[in-house]
Structure 1
Amino acid sequence: MRCARCLLQLQCLRLVGQTARSAAQNGALLHSASSSQPNMLHNTQHQVLRRFHGSPVCAKMPPIPAEFIDEDGKKRDKSLVTRDDLFEQVAKDIKTKATFNKVVDVFIKQDVRRRGHVEFIYAALQKMPEFGVEKDLAIYNKLLDVFPKEVFVPRNFIQRMFNHYPRQQECGVQVLEQMENYGITPNMETKVLLVQIFGLKGHPVRKLQRLMYWFPKFKHTNPFPIPKELSEDPVDLARFSLTRITNDRDAKVTVYQLPCTDITESGEEITLPHVVGIQSPSQMELLAKHNPSRPVFVEGPFPLWLRKKCVYYYVLRADPTPPDEKVEEPYDPERCFYYSLQLDLDLDRDFGDEQSFNVEDLDEGPVFAMCMTGRGEQAVLNQWISGLQLNNPILGQVATLFRIDDGPKELLGAADTESDHHHRTDPDTRTEDRQHEGEAEVTVDEEPSRSQGIKQ
């Protein structure tokens, strides 16, 4: 019966697929068949009208995309819009937290099934620094809320073992890793969302448990913490940076000049940068013992990163003391009662013990003071040296040499930036500024110099 039914269906398909060229022959055949077998013709007509039922496997095959033609006759692309374009379309002019939330709301309302949510979350993670929400915990919780709930939860131990829905779990772990990179501690809402999405045994929940274990342990272990929001005042920022570099409670921060705007006699407006320096009593003691015949150097600028802010500082230093001039002073046993500064231990050594250690001890020379300024010019640094001379009279007897580079644009003077090509000095030429005995002021060259290397 099944074979006969299949043959009958093939005959019906042949009848339907015949062209107009063979219509007369088919009419004759149908006429003969109607006279001999009327019942057979009746069944054949019924079989032609019946629909052809396909297998369920055919329904799972990807559908062929349809081509739409607009009024101009051009084909329209019906593919999904990329997630980056969605952020650009919704937030065209202003990129803030409100616009970011609006983009997420637009995606959630587009489709109830949240199709393409993994690609959207990856795109959102990349766009977060542009919107300034990379450190906002509420935004991360909102991104986790994009996942469909109770869909990716494993139902048995086999699904748990074989990483149920791996692509979605990897996306959830990526969200937590970005939170970890920015130092954001998850809260209870984050845990509830992950349990609803992936279950208690999912990889994102395990990642959350590790974060909640380690973050409280390392939260207050940094002995030199940096505030989350740095000060916008350059003087306060310089004071904080110099205190962080020196790491000496006895060091004194001195503000030699505040940023201000002055008007000259000719009516020209001049902006004076800030000059902030720091020096400790031990550095003053080292500078007082310095040999006046050996010069001191002003070097810089050297970068210092505070979170995403980069500041620059200058140092006043000298060359290492020659071995023949070094004088070893005995340690004062009463200088520190808790930690001894010298240990005299007679330990019995074996023949296999080495008497010498391969330790490279590099002496870079003493550092006498440090400063930060808003403009890396020699004239501005001379003001710092003049201020140091009040508490360090030996600077009036020591030659001061400048080894300063151009530095970034923030440290370049206005006059230097305008006449960069006209007043650029040769790196080999060196100018010398010496401070004579009894002089409280430092001689400054008339022409502003921006040399690379040593300025004598």
Structure 2
Amino acid sequence: MKCARCLLQLQGLRLQGLQLQGLRLQGLQGQSARSAAQHGALLQSSSQPHMLRNTQHQVIRRFHRSPINDKNQPIPAEFINEDDNKKDKSLVIHDDLFEQVARETKTKATFNKVMEVFIKQDVRRRGHVEFIYAALQKMPEFGVERDLAVYNKLLDVFPKEVFVPRNFIQIMFNHYPRQQECGVQLLEQMEGYGIMPNVDTKVLLIQIFGVKGHPMRKYQRIMYWFPKFKHTNPYPIPKNLPEDPVDLARFSLARIADDRDAKVTVYQLPCTDITESGEEITLPHVVGIQSPSQMELLAQHNPSRPVFVEGPFPLWLRDKCVYYYVLRADPVSPEEKVEEPYDPERSLAYPLQLDLDLDRGLGDEESFDVEDLDEGAVFAMCMTSQGDQAVLNQWVSGLQQNNPILGRVPTLFRLEQGPRELQGAHKTKSDHQHRPDPRPREEEEDEVSVEEELRRSQEMKQ
């Protein structure tokens, strides 16, 4: 209260001084000193209570006012920039940094140069989290998404010994969560590409996040599981798949067949032909595979029963999807099935039957309750870039050279519209949405009789 009174007195003295100075100026203009003094006294007596009330109100308001309110005052709309409303501005800035440095070529050297430019910009590495997120998105464009040295150098962007927890409370409350999430995201991208960390990665994680951090725990999980699953696949897929469609089809069919005696045959290579009318036609590739056991099954097939060409069926090889077609038959009915005696010398390593004279009790059952799913035999497989009936008929005609029975067996085509929709990139989503639903296969088979299909297949073969 004493401070408030002192401030009121100082404010009143200041007002009196200002009034006297105004009276002196008026006296210089020709007014008398007595009239000026009387006028000043009247002004002071008439306005002093009101002024005191105003000054008291102003002083109390200023005394209790916090300076924080001045910082949080609303900014006028005319000073607001529209670009400030955009999100992830830092990511856009770092993307521009990648584009500025790597204008001509995007290689590993230019990617490392961008990281060096960012490190030299600021000693404190401000905005390092946004830069690392932007770098993780740009790595596939520069072709360094599988380079361990680049990931270690990207970890080196983090400031050292800043995010290390000092006590158990910081460990409990997830010390610097945003930076730890960024480190875990970097390790998850390494895990997605199948890259195993090394000792340098461990040393960097300890220097940045400490032993008890979440990125270090993620590193320990990767180092535990990766060696266990490294050599579990008996049929590994190479990292770099062949770019040639014929070589890719050879590799895919050999992987599906799972028979070392199976033979891959190229029935047609991709080429461009010009017709008599001058029209340019692109012929697709046709690659097939068939094993000797499949040839034996096809030779024993009943000519009165048709065979079917079905497909396409998808096969994923890492990030590529290929399609294949099969030549198969319907399962044989139990009445027509003939059990042949097995050859004990057919498979010495894995015998088909074991005759063991074991003592069995009265409650032991000799039969096993196993649900057998009877499927038709698969006689051959093929891959082509264009799954039309005419192209697949060329494949069946090529199989007829080594399998003469196909000339007497009717062939029916059961084709779906799988890869055609995927290859048609020019079709919009609206076309797919307004496209009428296909009719069930049973209705189509009712409309088209089997005799008509047999007649057409025979005509195409002739």
- The 5 Å alignment of 1:212-227 reads 212-227=223-238
User: AA paired with 1:248?
Assistant: D
Shift of residue 324 of structure 1?
0.5
1:7 aligns with: 2
Q: Structure 1 residues 435, 73: CA separation in 2 closer, same or farther (over 3 Å shift)?
A: closer
Q: State yes or no: 1:313 paired with 2:324.
A: yes
Contact 1:263 1:270 in 2 (8 A): yes
Match of 1:75 among 59, 72, 80: 80
Match of 2:253 among 210, 227, 242: 242
Alpha-carbon distance between aligned partners in 2 of 1:239 and 1:62, rounded to the nearest angstrom: 74
Q: Structure 1 residues 18, 336: CA separation in 2 closer, same or farther (over 3 Å shift)?
A: farther
Contact 2:313 2:324 in 1 (8 A): yes
Q: Structure 1 residues 91, 19: CA separation in 2 closer, same or farther (over 3 Å shift)?
A: farther
Q: Structure 1 residues 86, 103: CA separation in 2 closer, same or farther (over 3 Å shift)?
A: farther
Contact 2:323 2:419 in 1 (8 A): no
- The 5 Å alignment of 1:230-269 reads 230-269=241-280
Give the CA RMSD over aligned residues. 4.1
Shift of residue 182 of structure 1?
1.7
Query: Which structure carries more helix by proportion?
Result: 2
Once the two structures are superposed, residues 383-421 of structure 1 have per-residue CA deviations (whole angstroms, 9 ceiling, x without a partner) of 1111111111110110000111233248979xxxxxxxx
Shift of residue 176 of structure 1?
1.2
Alpha-carbon distance between aligned partners in 2 of 1:251 and 1:17, rounded to the nearest angstrom: 106
Contact 2:326 2:381 in 1 (8 A): yes
User: AA paired with 1:245?
Assistant: I
- The 5 Å alignment of 1:195-344 reads 195-344=206-355
**Range that drifts further, 88-97 or 198-207:** 88-97
**Range that drifts further, 124-133 or 230-239:** 124-133
1:348 aligns with: 360
Contact 1:292 1:397 in 2 (8 A): yes
Match of 2:93 among 67, 70, 86: 86
Shift of residue 290 of structure 1?
0.5
Alpha-carbon distance between aligned partners in 2 of 1:184 and 1:26, rounded to the nearest angstrom: 86
Q: State yes or no: 1:177 paired with 2:188.
A: yes
2:384 aligns with: 373
User: AA paired with 1:82?
Assistant: K
Shift of residue 88 of structure 1?
4.1
Alpha-carbon distance between aligned partners in 1 of 2:70 and 2:158, rounded to the nearest angstrom: 26
2:162 aligns with: 151
Q: Structure 1 residues 299, 94: CA separation in 2 closer, same or farther (over 3 Å shift)?
A: farther
Alpha-carbon distance between aligned partners in 2 of 1:183 and 1:245, rounded to the nearest angstrom: 24
1:3 aligns with: none
User: AA paired with 2:398?
Assistant: G
SS at match of 2:373: coil
Shift of residue 377 of structure 1?
1.1
Once the two structures are superposed, residues 116-145 of structure 1 have per-residue CA deviations (whole angstroms, 9 ceiling, x without a partner) of 433443454455456554333233223312
**Range that drifts further, 167-176 or 16-25:** 16-25
Alpha-carbon distance between aligned partners in 2 of 1:357 and 1:171, rounded to the nearest angstrom: 54
Shift of residue 330 of structure 1?
1.6
Contact 1:434 1:442 in 2 (8 A): no
Q: State yes or no: 1:432 paired with 2:453.
A: yes
- TM-score, normalization: structure 2? 0.72
Once the two structures are superposed, residues 193-217 of structure 1 have per-residue CA deviations (whole angstroms, 9 ceiling, x without a partner) of 2122123343322332332333233
Is the radius of gyration larger for structure 1 or structure 2?
2
Shift of residue 284 of structure 1?
0.6
Alpha-carbon distance between aligned partners in 2 of 1:409 and 1:16, rounded to the nearest angstrom: 91
Once the two structures are superposed, residues 8-59 of structure 1 have per-residue CA deviations (whole angstroms, 9 ceiling, x without a partner) of 4x4454467779877779999xxxxxxxxxxxxxxxxxxxxxxx9xxxxx99
**Range that drifts further, 219-228 or 123-132:** 123-132
User: AA paired with 2:250?
Assistant: R
Contact 1:260 1:273 in 2 (8 A): yes
Alpha-carbon distance between aligned partners in 2 of 1:141 and 1:62, rounded to the nearest angstrom: 46
SS at match of 1:261: strand
2:151 aligns with: 140
Shift of residue 188 of structure 1?
2.9
Alpha-carbon distance between aligned partners in 2 of 1:389 and 1:373, rounded to the nearest angstrom: 18
SS at match of 1:324: coil
User: AA paired with 1:75?
Assistant: I
- The 5 Å alignment of 1:26-65 reads 64=71
Q: Structure 1 residues 400, 205: CA separation in 2 closer, same or farther (over 3 Å shift)?
A: same
1:416 aligns with: none
Alpha-carbon distance between aligned partners in 1 of 2:69 and 2:89, rounded to the nearest angstrom: 21
1:390 aligns with: 401
Q: How many residues align?
A: 394
User: 5+ unaligned residues in a row in structure 1: which ranges?
Assistant: 1-5, 29-51, 53-57, 414-424, 444-456
Alpha-carbon distance between aligned partners in 2 of 1:320 and 1:343, rounded to the nearest angstrom: 27
Contact 2:269 2:285 in 1 (8 A): yes
